[in-house]
Copies of this chain bind each other. A is one copy, B any other.
Amino acid sequence: MTIKISIDCMGGDHGPSVTIPAAISFLKKQADAELVLVGVEDVLRAELKKHHADNNPRLTVKHASEVVAMDDPVEVALRRKKDSSMRVAIEAVKDGSAHACVSAGNTGALMAVSRYVLKTMAGVDRPAICSIMPNQKGGPTYILDLGANVDCEPDHLHQFAIMGSVLCSAIEGIPRPTIGLLNVGTEDIKGNEAVKATGVLLRADAERGKLNFFGNVEGNDIFKGTVDVVVCDGFVGNVMLKAIEGLSRFMKTTFKESVMSMLGALFARKALKKLNPERYNGAGLLGLKGLVFKSHGGANAYAFEWAIKRAYDAAHNNVQEHLSALIAELMPSSPITAPATAAAVAPTSAPVLDGQRQAL
């Protein structure tokens, strides 16, 4: 089956000069993929021509007259720019002309517009942002939430565990991914009140054989690869992610400070590449009625291509179907899934941000 991905080509710090080359490069590697390039048509066609790709039958251009700026408030993206490349790309998922969407646009706007256009999946209270990090075992560690929800109740963290497990399972082909609850220690009694109560829920799931809950994990377990999926609230996840990015950037700067260090970095290139956060670009916005992937705003073409690849993998491996099925199976009696129709028609326009702040 051909997988179609819609791309918000105007988003991010660099826009088409990054998104178009990434799209062209991705198609060369993925024969069963088609891309819908969304943005200001003239600009996109000019960029395509520059790369001799204006006649590629697997690339379609879809015009959108507006652009969500990186510093646009959520309200502007949501109410005033109804023909933005971001929104049109998400609408392509909604109307079935794409299986997934990728944008490097501002995260707050992307989450809000996605929630508004696609709505939240039945049984899910709050969508979450799930990204991956490299680990010492050579595999990726999935982490969520990375900034969509800064005040989380145990029920929310519980749902994040289910969503992260499904995404990891579908993309990595791991039947029952191990789940760790991010905490200040491994003992059950550790943690703040929300995390301790979440531990109780996850242990109950594990006892019934429903989720593969490993137990509490600590910050260093992310890079050790102790578990496949790490669950935390969006405040902790966001602050930690940015601290990690900050440390990576600091190290790069330090390497550039002396000729000897630069030489060192050259020799160590392979090692540094393994740690390269660009390879791990592409966070999933999970829990929506449609797949949306977020690229880092400052991504280069190499990194943006990875985000497209992640969206492709998720669509190709039917993440949405698996997620719906597993949410229904794992949370059948949850109060939040009970009024299914209410959840389906939940008002997402005005109170998109109720109890939720976008952060990345």
Contact = CB atoms under 8 A, between A and B. Distances in A.
Interface in A229-256: 232, 234-236, 238-251, 253-255
A247 B275 CA distance: 9
A111 interface: no
Copies of this chain, complex-wide, total: 2
Interface in A197-221: 218-221
Interface string A265-292: 1111111001100000000000000000
Interface stretch (A56-64, A186-194, A316-324, A340-348): A186-194
Contacts of A263: 264, 267-268
Contacts of A218: 238-239, 242
A243 B240 contact: yes
A177 interface: no
Main secondary structure of the interface of A (DSSP, over half): helix
A357 B191 contact: yes
A224 interface: yes
B255 A268 contact: yes
A235 B184 contact: yes
A222 interface: yes
B250 A275 contact: yes
> Quick one: which of A189, A246, A249, A254 has the most chain B CB within 10 A?
A246
B192 A235 contact: yes
Nearest to A243: B219
A219 B192 contact: no
A25 interface: no
